[in-house]
Amino acid sequence: MYPTLYDAIKDLFGLEIGFLQIANTFGFFVAIGFLVANYMMAMELKRKQKEGLIDAFTRKTFKGKPLPKGEYLSNAVMGFIFGYKVIPILFNGDLLSDGAQEYIFSSNGSLLYGILLGALLLYLKYREDLKQRLEEPVEVDETVNPWQQMGSITLVAAITGIIGAKVFHWLEYWESFVAHPVENLLSPSGLTFFGGLICGGAGVLWAAKKNNIGAKVMLDVGGPVMMLAYGIGRMGCHYSGDGDWGIVNTAPKPAWLNAFPDWVWAYNYPNNVAGECDPTGGSMPCDFDVTPYLQLPVFPTPFYEIVMAIGLFAILWLIRKKIMAPGALFGIYMIFAGLERFLIEKIRVNSTYNLFGFHPTQAEIISILLIAGGAVFYFYCVRKQPRYKMNNED
């Protein structure tokens, strides 16, 4: 497993690039997922605009007006943080000797580099501001294409999605959160997919409305891409070994899997970023420094979810132009997402609730609601609005 990109590059290419120790493998794949989603959703919005399903809009703006103070502040702050935390690593790799996470959340850093880089970016922003200023700012009508706003929409999705994923994780493991609130608040790990989906989706719909994109159109654009982004995110879980693995699996590998490596059936996640060596949750006390792997193999559920998510994305992508009722494609996505997660929960490690004698996981409850809600939403959309109306139709 590769807790950081440093570990991956060192193992694959034999190169030791010290500053990559701050690049968390899970975070890297999450970032890739957002970038892919941003690109593909922008392309889909372009296509829907050409088909006449969404329109460009105009807004009044002042050309030549001084840049907002917030842009100066954000440049200075980002420069200071990068200079304070990142640049010192280039000259002193020992700063990461106790781990990248410990360094990032510590007060260690270089005040000098932080001030210098913050001042440099502040000056560059000032130069940029001077070049675009006019003696008399002119009010103009600016044409805005919805697809051009995907950057800001993706940013909203990232912020609201991560907040939702963290909050739902805390609710799922409430006793752990109460016992170690500071560690849970600062930890970059511990994200629940459905929390990210619900809160991130709400954030996207809010941002879409602000940019003249209908809710159903935005949902149809986002459904297939969210499935792909989920698969990419699960790559981060698998390759870092973040603890989102399955239950212990000591059964012999089935014959029909003989063409695949043994780890596809059961894996012990060596050097996992979670620092876990006891896959039973407490019955096999161990020291990760001595045995840096799970003492019993488990189902590699993140890998299974990668395969399922990419397969379901391919189906959604192939049928997206054939589903003519606005919102119906997202209804199918909801059914797929709920079904995929419900099935994987049967072999996945999770905390459970006690509901009327049943012991479902949080994800199982939400999965059932997603499947039922997706079916209802699909038939509602099909009956309420039978087809998209194209530019070339009366």
pLDDT tops 80 at residue 301: yes
Confidence check: pLDDT of 290 > 60 = yes
Helices (H), the chain: 5-13, 25-50, 69-81, 87-91, 100-104, 111-132, 150-172, 174-179, 181-186, 193-210, 215-240, 301-319, 328-344, 362-384
Q: What is the pTM (predicted TM-score) of this model?
A: 0.77
32 token code pair: 């890739």
Same domain, 156 and 240: yes
Percentage of the chain beyond pLDDT 70 is: 86
Give the separation between CA 133 and CA 249, rounded to whole angstroms.
66
Q: Domain for residue 118, yes or no?
A: yes
266 within some domain:
no
User: What tokens appear for 186 in the block?
Assistant: 């600062």
Per-residue model confidence (pLDDT) at position 392? 40
pLDDT at residue 390, as a whole number: 47
Res 268: pLDDT: 96
- Tokens 């580099």 found at: 113
- Residue at which a domain ends, from 142, 158, 174: 142
Choosing from 142, 167, 198, the residue where a domain stops is 142
Query: pLDDT: is 12 or 102 the higher one?
Result: 12
Query: Can you tell me the distance from the alpha carbon of 7 to that of 20, in angstroms, rounded to the nearest whole number?
Result: 8
Tokens of 116: 């210098």
Query: Which range, 26-35, 177-186, 306-315, is most confident?
Result: 306-315
Are 306 and 168 in a shared domain?
A: yes
**How many domains are there within the chain?**
2
What pLDDT, on the 0 to 100 scale, is given for residue 391?
Answer: 44
Task: Please give the angle made by the CA atoms of 45, 194 and 249, to the nearest 5 degrees.
Answer: 125
Q: CA of 152: how far to CAs of 83, 86, 147, 233, 356, in Å?
A: 25, 26, 10, 20, 44
Q: Note whether residue 323 is domain-resident.
A: yes
- Where does a domain end: 120, 142, 164? 142
Same domain flag for 135 and 154 = no
Distances (CA, A) of 94 to 8, 81, 97, 105: 19, 19, 5, 16
Average pLDDT, the chain: 84
Residue 384 has pLDDT above 70, yes or no: no
Assess whether 134 and 93 both reside in one domain: yes
Structural domain contains residue 293: no
More confident residue, 291 or 198: 291
Structure tokens at 278: 């006891």
74-100: pLDDT as tens digits: 889 989 988 988 788 777 766 665 655
- d(CA 217, CA 48) in angstroms, rounded, equals 8
- Between 339 and 58, the higher pLDDT residue: 339
Contact 271, 1 (CB under 8 A): yes
346 and 241, same structural domain? yes
Question: Amino acid letter at 28?
Answer: F
Q: What is the pLDDT of residue 188?
A: 55
Cα gap 58→148, rounded to integer Å:
13
Please check whether residue 389 lies inside any domain of the structure. Answer: no
Q: Are residues 231 and 94 in the same domain?
A: no
Greater pLDDT, 384 or 64: 64
Give residue 157's pLDDT. 80
User: Tokens representing 293?
Assistant: 């792997």
pLDDT beyond 80 at 350: no
Instruction: State which residues form the domain around 131.
Output: 61-142
Is residue 96, in this structure, part of any structural domain at all? yes
Between 200 and 84, residue with greater pLDDT = 84
Say if residue 157 is in the same domain as residue 239: yes
Residues 237 and 303 in one domain: yes
pLDDT, mean of residues 280-284 = 84
With a pLDDT cut of 90, the percent of the chain lying above it is 37
Q: How high is the pLDDT of residue 115?
A: 94
Look at residue 37 and tell me if it is in a domain: yes
What was the pLDDT predicted at 105?
62
Gyration radius (Cα) of the chain, Å: 24
- The highest-confidence range among 50-64, 248-262, 342-356, by mean pLDDT, is 248-262
Same domain, 235 and 160: yes
The reply to whether 121 and 155 lie within a common domain is no
Distance CA 65, CA 31 (A): 34
> How do residues 218-260 score in pLDDT, each as one tens digit?
899 999 999 999 999 899 989 999 888 999 999 999 999 999 9
Indicate whether 321 and 200 sit together in one domain: yes
Q: What is the mean pLDDT of residues 364-368?
A: 87
Asked whether residue 114 falls in the same domain as residue 26, the answer is: no
- Give domain status of residue 112, yes or no: yes
